[in-house]
Amino acid sequence: MPAGVGHGSWDLEFDYVVVGGGSAGCVLANRLSASGRYRVCLLEAGPPDRSPMIRMPSGLVALLRSSLYNWQYWTTQQPQMGNRSLYWPRGRTLGGSSAINAMCVVRGNAWDYDHWAALGNPGWSYREVLPYFKALENYEAGAADAFHAQGGPLNVAQLRHHNPLSDVFLRAAQEAGHARNDDFNGAQQDGFGYYHVAQIDGERCSNARAYLRDAAGRDNLRILTETRATRVLFDGKRAVGVRYFANGVYREVLARREVLLSAGAVNSPQLLLLSGVGPEAELRRHGIHPVKVLAGVGSNLQDHLDALVSVRSRRRLPLSLHPLSLPRSLWALLRYLFGRRGELTSNIAESGGFIRSQPQLPAPDLQMHFVPLANAHHGLDLRPLLKTYAFSILSCDLRPYSRGEIRLASPDPMAPPEIDPRHFEDPRDLDQLLVAIRKAREILAQAAFAEHHAGELEPGAHLQTDDELRQWLREHTETLYHPVGTCKMGPVADAQAVVDARLCVHGMQGLRVIDASIMPTLVGGNTNVPTTMIAEKGASMVLEDAD
């Protein structure tokens, strides 16, 4: 990163203190400091985003198992999932999860935002958020139109490389009766096509690259990395600063105007709880004095789960670490190093689509990602990639009914929180993924795959009945990395709401939450671009209220 990152002897008093340098925090740091009128401090617990694996799109496999750039969270044991604990990678560097994700640019469905507005959140309908979606992007993937714009910070591109099996998948989807869709963020979401990606010149365009690369040099913006926020400081009901830990000591940074939490769906509620804002019983259980009792802090946790169907390939087209792929891998590395071309520019989840499990639904409720590789379990188990050539369809239920929560494991701010998503607590979620598996199998059975399909690896062709597949889902389903909702946006009459429609914490002054945790409900798609939109809109509201 440019100058401005690190520690120094600055006067630790600012107009705005932003906690979390992830997808939302990068936006806030840029937009609030752009005019030069306000001094802004951005606190990020992780290191700067200097790894070449962050720049390399296919480096996400390595980043998913990184302990340096990844919080490497685990959930509590899930009773409805065979008492398994699930791995939850979350970005821990400038750019947050946008630095380690698959870069898919998906806004969600227009219905999602109209639903948010209908829940009592004025200003959040699709018509009202569309200008912020357009403002955040430089739409390199096509011409500007009613849905897209150019000149924004986040570069939205078409992939430079497509695995041949991605083309096969799209042909098979059409053979199965699904429409082709070349823009999931346009007039309609239904159909199958290639995902647009957050990339620029064959490299990842994380939110740090998009929003901080130029802003970091501003005199009125201070970026502190490897700086762990431990508590929001209050004067009565007003947030006045943040206590943080860095270089072995605790320090305090003061906020003359507002403290803005953008630490994500896991860490924002954790910091509120550590600061005395949350359910009274939870606070007192850990000996924390309640500053403001808000029952909804940490509740309403939602996430997308993936049902996987993996198939052995007859040909060596999939990505693999098999010894026979060594010459291909070396060629791919050379093409990337000397031109940012070839397989290493792939986001791996190159193609996919959106479908409705029932035709009368107002929006697609199932999403698919096709990946030309075997199941590597978040990159934690690379043995399948060493042993076989395979391809997979990952299918998720876009709007699950189950709700979980984030709790404190300890009053120690350095301890990871308890993450209890309570997956499959509502059996309708299990039934949705059952439909998803059957839809994926239907596509894989089409003629386009005949010369490639050498037998199903997972769940396995021997599992056919509903009960067999439900049991397999309980034992094997994993996260798609989209946790949201733990600081829910809603009116004060909603007992679970934490922030209002202007993202101010109910009953507090000078304190907002601006990140994925404010989503009342999950959106129909990947969550990074919606989070970026939330931060764009949030920054605009902060500046409006400052005048």
Q: Among residues 178, 515, 529, which one has the least CA distance to residue 367? A: 178
* Residue 514 one-letter amino acid: I
Token readout for 151 is 């000149």
C-alpha dihedral (292, 18, 482, 488), degrees to nearest 10? 30
**CA 137 and chain centroid, separation:** 17
The number of beta carbons lying within 10 Å of the beta carbon of residue 19 is 29
70 vs 83: CA distance, rounded Å: 24
Query: Which residues have C-beta within 8 Å of that of residue 278, sequence separation ≥ 6?
Result: 269, 272, 290, 293, 294, 295, 297, 298
Answer whether 64's CB lies under 8 Å from 89's CB. yes
Closest-CA residue to 486 (of 422, 431, 541, 398): 422
Q: What angle do CA 96, 97, 98 make, to 5 degrees?
A: 90
* Residues counted in the chain: 547
What is the Cα–Cα distance from 167 to 158, expressed in whole angstroms?
Answer: 14
Distance CA 251, CA 270 (A): 19
H or E segment and range at residue 395: strand 390-397
Point out which residues pair with 200 in neighbouring strands: 203
Three-class secondary structure assignment of 204-241: ECCHHHHHCCCHHHCCCEEEECCCEEEEEEEECCEEEE
Pairing of strands 478-479, 305-313: antiparallel
The DSSP call for residue 172 is: H
- Half-sphere exposure of 303 toward its Cβ, with a 13 Å CA cutoff? 30
Q: Which residues participate in catalysis according to the annotation?
A: 482
The DSSP letter of residue 459 is: T
Among residues 182, 101, 195, the alpha carbon closest in space to that of 156 is found at 195
Which residues fall within 8 angstroms of residue 294, CB to CB, at 6 or more apart? Answer: 272, 277, 278, 279, 498, 505, 506, 507
Q: State the distance between the two ends of the chain, measured CA to CA, in whole angstroms.
A: 32
What span, in angstroms and rounded, lies between the C-alpha atoms of 60 and 202?
14
The answer to whether residues 341 and 335 touch, using CB atoms and an 8 Å cutoff, is: yes
